[in-house]
Amino acid sequence: MAMTMTTNTTENVLVVEAQAIGMIGVIRSLGRAGYRVHAAARDPEAPGLHSQFATVSVTHPSYEHDDFLPWLRRYIREQDIRCIVPSEGFLIAIREAFDEFRALLPDAPDATSLYRCFAKTEVESWCAEHGDEALKQQVPKAAVMARNDSISASDFQSWQWPLWLKTDARDADDNASGGVQKIAAQAELQQAVSGALDTHRQCLLQEHVPGVKATVNLWRHQGKIRARSMCVAMHENPHTGGLTAYRKFWWHEAICRDAERRLEVLDWNGVAMVEYRWDAASQRFWFLELNARYWNALNLDLLAGKDFPRWQIDAFFGKTIHEDLSPGPVGFAARYTVPADIGYLMSLLRDGNVSAGKKLRACIEWCWLAIDPRVKSDLWFKGDRGLYWRAWKTFFTRLGKPA
């Protein structure tokens, strides 16, 4: 499928995974800047394919299909693609042919450096083994587990439970995906780790730490931080911890310095979201993981004037190197209303451990946020508001279907 809109621009940029909210932000940023955006996804219903800022919308074979790389080579040649904004899944799919496509990838380092940053196990080990002791201070207890490693629940008795087991697609066999699994009790540990290592060469175990999700969003170009922002989660989906559904601009100097130092040590150039947990009661924070790609809250940045994708692609094409190291409008808030923030509310309402009073307050707050003019919505984006209504239509359609 290919749909085309009229444009006068010349540089063709392929943006993959148009179903992801962060990549919708990339499509909007680059389309608004005048680039010819080729929005791509496997599913023709991917929201980004229907963005008004996409010049061309195209579907492709799934990443694991043998036809994907031939399709990609042909599409680049026929459409004169000059740049690709990748996702993690895309980079895993082209791993064996990375050098063939590297020249089209903004800020792309060598393959070893790039793929290291897509494995939580390697990021953990790299920082732990580095000579900078500061990198070892603000972290939860963690262990990298590989096949044939022995494991005993007694080794983790002093850890804060539940534990979190994390895997990455980069370490997977047979196209298995990555994920996060909660281990609530010691009796579950052996089976959970064994299950993960059946499909992945290694996995990461982390202890639980209190607080809320806080992220540092960075663009590092030619060894220097060029742009940055921070946000803190007000709602997560599910409400016990997950995708940031409602967040606001925020600033914490020590966390920002820690994130920038980790990118430096990892020798990462490009965009990245560095994830932390921040506990207001103790004023402590912990580094959790690196996501070396565009982030889910990117539309918050765009709405606040932090135009990361345009800045990165302008630099890639040699136009200008923009720098914005300001905190941005601290307190500026936006939510991914549907499906993420309504998912937050529904998860809270279904939780039998949450009191009736808290559920009532959450309902009132959710409705208030919907009419508060200070709180923006990711999909309610000037020139592209059709995606907001499309999201609601999809939500209600799925709601009416049997589970």
Q: Is 29 a member of any domain?
A: yes
- pLDDT attached to residue 318: 97
Q: Is 127 a member of any domain?
A: no
Q: Residues 183, 234: one domain?
A: no
Give the pairing type, strands 212-221 and 224-237: antiparallel
Which regions of the chain are under pLDDT 50?
Answer: 1-7
Q: Where are the alpha helices (DSSP H) in 94-188?
A: 98-101, 111-116, 120-129
- pLDDT attached to residue 174: 81
- pLDDT attached to residue 5: 44
- pLDDT attached to residue 1: 46
Residue type, 203: C
Q: Is 133 a member of any domain?
A: no
- pLDDT attached to residue 9: 59
Q: Residues 217, 327: one domain?
A: yes
- pLDDT attached to residue 7: 45
Annotate 184-229 with DSSP letters as a single string: -SGGGHHHHHHHHHHHBSEEEEEE---SEEEEEEEEEETTEEEEEE
Q: Residues 77, 201: one domain?
A: no
- pLDDT attached to residue 201: 95
Within 10 angstroms of residue 157's Cβ, the number of other Cβ atoms is: 9
Cβ–Cβ < 8 Å for 315, 322: yes
Q: Residues 268, 290: one domain?
A: yes
- pLDDT attached to residue 340: 97
% pLDDT > 70, the chain: 98
CA dihedral 244, 250, 254, 258 (to 10 degrees): 40
pTM: 0.95
Q: Residues 370, 226: one domain?
A: yes
The residues near 103 (Cβ < 8 Å, ≥ 6 apart) are none
- pLDDT attached to residue 403: 59
Among 192, 207, 222, where does a domain finish? 207
| CA pair distance 256, 258, nearest whole angstrom | 5
Q: Residues 199, 224: one domain?
A: no
Cα–Cα nearest to 311, from 297, 294, 327: 294
The residues near 288 (Cβ < 8 Å, ≥ 6 apart) are 140, 206, 209, 275, 276, 277
CA dihedral 63, 64, 67, 72 (to 10 degrees): 30
Q: Which range marks the domain in which residue 54 is found?
A: 2-105
Among 165, 187, 207, where does a domain finish? 207
| CA pair distance 362, 360, nearest whole angstrom | 5
Number of domains making up the chain = 3
Residues 49, 50, 53: CA angle, nearest 5 degrees: 90
Cβ–Cβ < 8 Å for 271, 86: no
